[in-house]
Chains A and B, each alone.
Chain A
Amino acid sequence: MYMLRTDNITMKFGGLVAVSNLNLEIKQNEIVGLIGPNGAGKTTAFNMITSQYTPTEGSIFFNNEDITSYKPYEITKLGIARTFQNIKLFKEMTVLENVLVGNHLRVRSPLILSVLRSPMYLREEKHMVEKSMNLLRDLNLDDVVNEKAYSLPYGKQRRLEIARALATDPKLLLLDEPAAGMNPQESIELMNFIHEIREKFDLTIFLIEHTMQVVMGVCERIYVLDYGVTIAEGNPSDIQNNPKVIEAYLGVN
């Protein structure tokens, strides 16, 4: 029984095959990594799972439900949230507002009740604010709740993106290069943090990462892509000793 399963998904852009026949199988509560050289198709794979792209071929299953043709927002509602490689925060909105937006998908009051500030809506709003404040506290962002998102330092922006994703109550969290731009010390903190949020929010985590220290330190299983093709799969030590992986990263003499 897999939480996320992809069945031979392929993505073509014109003549270019960005990802071909990718088969992922991710179990509940696993932390799985997706690595590969630049341009290997990692982010494309993420975009297919969250339906920013519809695969040219193949199907994607989430808890046995075929989600291939779902819209991105429907996928988020089912419980898959993501962050972006090039941080995509709501820049002109405050930190708290960013996280509150992540709660919007669970709002049940219609628009008119929100404008009229009906008791039903106010209850929802109160709950949202409390939940978001807790999240921001958990992620050590409670000192900047009223700052605009663009004014945060880079590391906090990355954390805010994760907080915003967690606000949607995901079961599966996709992190696209969470350690990008971090120094070794910050990377270690990130690894601990990833473990923490898995326990705390009962998450399954699938991440793309270039920093080998993070990938090897945090992932229980790893998929390796090269030119869109899966060249290896296994636990960190297998991957480190796999000749194909070494070749893909270092090139052939």
Chain B
Amino acid sequence: MTFEIFLQHLSNAVSLGSLYALIAIGYTMVYGILRLINFAHGDIFMLGGYFAFYALTTFLMPWWVGFIVAIGLTALLGMSIEKVAYRPLRDSPKVSVLISAIGVSFLIESLGVVIFGGIQKAFPIPDLFGKVMMIGNIYIVSVNFFIPVIAFIFLVGLMYLINKTKTGMAMRALSRDHETARLMGIDVDKVIAYTFGLGSLLAAVGGIMWGMKYPQLYPLMGVMPGLKCFIAAVVGGIGNITGAVLGGLIIGILEIMTVAFLPDLTGYRDAFAFILLIIILLVKPTGLMGENLAEKV
């Protein structure tokens, strides 16, 4: 393998890793605050892609308008899901909420099949993202260049929001202790809704870019990325945003590079993340950047 080919694989790996990172953040934020695996997160990611598709093809919006509309709609939808399916169960056992999330996930997927149709749809790639660029000796499709850049911009924005704004402070407080946060005058329901909105927004960005990277959409496209990104969040240390980004990059790079260097393992590609998950759970269940929390008796 020449160095050029290696770089080509690397750019592909980094762009996939950045997408995983964007989705993983949604898992980690929701888990941090509600201790819930939002099983439907991968499907929200899928919806983001489809909303953009219809905005561009059916409603013929300019691409940037379409993208913004799709992202906004997805965020609203994420907030509604929380309100309908998770909020009523906030005092129920953890597993009940998880079952509700599994229900939501299957509902979105099957509604997707009903409404969007089960056949794959080609994503209309705006020219800006479809160009083939040549940097040095390597060819890169521009979307692979933009993905890490856009992911980085959103990440910086998110970090600012979480660390510098009042809402962000409220989120951090909630992830520690709901009751105390409530006593401090934080509107718990509102902050949880924001968290879902924000996570869904990032998932939509991921879904749109996924659509441009592998230019096709289908209703079950969120299942595998969803599972892998949850794993990314666990690997990085659930509840920790930097950890989620790190986990996403690790899984993306591991996946692409293993296939690139050991083509015999291509068929096992989807298994890597699960094997990594099991190793992490056994060796360091708190993840790479997680904190140790002793269980109270």
B-contacting residues of A (Cβ < 8 Å)? 13-14, 43, 47, 52-53, 84
- Report A-chain residues with C-beta under 8 Å of the C-beta of B294: 13, 53
Cβ proximity bits B264-297 to A, threshold 8 Å, 1 near / 0 not: 0000000000000000000000000000101001
Q: What separation, in Å, do the CA atoms of A47 and B297 have in the docked complex?
A: 8
CA distance A14 to B292 in the complex (A): 9
A48 and B292 alpha carbons, distance in the complex (Å): 19
Q: Which residue of A lies closest to B297 (CB)?
A: A52
Contacts A13-B294, A52-B297, A84-B297 known; list 5 others, CB within 8 Å.
A14-B292, A43-B297, A47-B297, A53-B294, A53-B297
A-B contact pairs, 8 of them (CB 8 A): A13-B294, A14-B292, A43-B297, A47-B297, A52-B297, A53-B294, A53-B297, A84-B297
For A13, list chain B residues within 8 Å (CB).
294
Chief secondary structure at chain A's binding surface: loop
| Smallest Cβ-Cβ distance to A43: which chain B residue | B297
Q: Which residues from A are CB-within-8-Å of B292?
A: 14
Cα separation A96 to B297 with both chains bound (whole Å): 25
Give bound CA distance, A52 to B297, whole Å: 8
Which chain A residue has the least Cβ–Cβ distance from B294?
A13
- Tell me the nearest residue of chain B to A85, going by C-beta: B297
> With the chains together, A110 CA to B292 CA distance in Å?
38
Separation of A43 and B297 alpha carbons in the complex (Å): 9
- CB 8 Å contact bits of B96-112 with A (1 = contact, 0 = none): 00000000000000000
How close is B91's CB to chain A, nearest CB, in angstroms? Answer: 16
A43 vs B294: C-alpha distance when bound (angstroms):
15
A13 and B292 alpha carbons, distance in the complex (Å): 10
- Chain A contacts of B297 at CB under 8 A? 43, 47, 52-53, 84
Residue of B nearest to A46 (CB): B297
How far is A13 from B294 in the complex, measured between Cα atoms in Å?
8
Complex Cα spacing A14 to B294, Å = 9
Which chain B residue shows the least CB distance to A14?
A: B292
- Residues in B with CB closer than 8 Å to A84 are 297
Smallest CB–CB gap between A83 and chain B, Å? 12
A47 CA to B294 CA in the complex, in Å? Answer: 13
Least Cβ–Cβ distance between B295 and chain A, in angstroms: 9
User: Which 8 pairs of residues, A with B, have the shortest CB-CB distance?
Assistant: A52-B297, A47-B297, A13-B294, A53-B297, A43-B297, A14-B292, A84-B297, A53-B294
Docked complex Cα distance between A53 and B296 (Å): 10
Query: Considering the chains assembled together, what is the distance between the CA atoms of A13 and B293 in angstroms?
Result: 9
Instruction: Identify the closest chain B residue to A50 (Cβ).
Output: B297
In the bound complex, residues from chain B placing their C-beta under 8 Å from that of A14 are: 292
Chain A residue with Cβ nearest B292: A14
Tell me the minimal C-beta distance from A80 to chain B in angstroms: 15
A84 to B296, CA, bound (A): 12
B116 to chain A, nearest CB (A): 43
A187 to chain B, nearest CB (A): 25
In the complex the two chains form, what is the Cα distance from A52 to B296 in whole Å?
9
A151 and B265 alpha carbons, distance in the complex (Å): 57
What is the CA–CA distance of A53 and B294 in the complex, to the nearest angstrom? 9
Q: Which residues of B contact A52 (CB under 8 A)?
A: 297
Q: Which residues of B contact A43 (CB under 8 A)?
A: 297
How many Å lie between the Cα of A251 and that of B235 in the bound state? 47
With A and B bound together, what is the CA distance between A13 and B295 in angstroms?
11
**Chain B residues near A47 (CB, 8 Å)?**
297
- Cα A43 to Cα B292 with chains together (Å): 21
Q: Mark B41-65, 1 if CB is under 8 A from A, else 0.
A: 0000000000000000000000000
